[in-house]
Amino acid sequence: MTTQHDPVDHELIRAATQVAETRCRGDHHTVAAAARARDGRIVSAVNVYHFTGGPCAELALIGAAAAQGAYELDTIVAVGDRGRGVVPPCGRCRQVLLDYFPGLEVIVGSGDGARTVPISELLPASYVWADQLAAE
């Protein structure tokens, strides 16, 4: 299967990298995420690590974006601290991102291997929350 993907938004990767390098401190904040909102602006956030299941950077970003009135996100990327580069979303985040933004594009892979893929491709044969709500 050949799928045409959008070009990689390197400005977005740089934004997440800068937040990871300057705002991630110690064990509480270890990953930064940046998203391109529909209106073009970039929103960023960091994870909130806690043993009870604190939110990943992608989930913290959804709330941060909403707080700024950015309810439509086009592209997201997460970058790890200590030079770890682009970090793909975990399973929980893939499900949440798909439910909130079905058309979202996600940057995965680092360096020359960075590519943009639809969230739906990162969660094949997925449970669709909206379908479940419609059935009730």
Q: Which of 77, 127, 128 is nearest to 104 (CA)?
A: 77
Helix spans in 9-113 (H):
10-23, 57-67, 91-100
3-11, 34-42, 56-64, 125-133 -> range binding Zn ion (CB under 5 A): 56-64
DSSP 16: H
Q: Which of 42, 39, 85, 86 is nearest to 61 (CA)?
A: 42
Token pair recorded at residue 90: 């975990």
Q: Which of residues 6-35 bind Zn ion (CB under 5 A)?
A: none
Nearer to Zn ion, 12 or 87 (CB): 87
The least CB distance from residue 47 to Zn ion, in Å, is: 8
Instruction: Judge whether 58 counts as a catalytic residue.
Output: yes
Nearer to Zn ion, 17 or 30 (CB): 30
Work out whether 90 is an interface residue with Zn ion (CB under 5 A): yes
The least CB distance from residue 94 to Zn ion, in Å, is: 8
Q: What is the rounded CA–CA span in Å between residue 69 and residue 82?
A: 31
Q: What is the rounded CA–CA span in Å between residue 64 and residue 62?
A: 6
Size, binding site for Zn ion by CB under 5 A: 3
10-18, 64-72, 93-101, 123-131 -> range binding Zn ion (CB under 5 A): 93-101
Which of 12, 65, 76, 93 forms a contact with Zn ion (CB under 5 A)?
Answer: 93
- Catalytic residues, which ones? 58
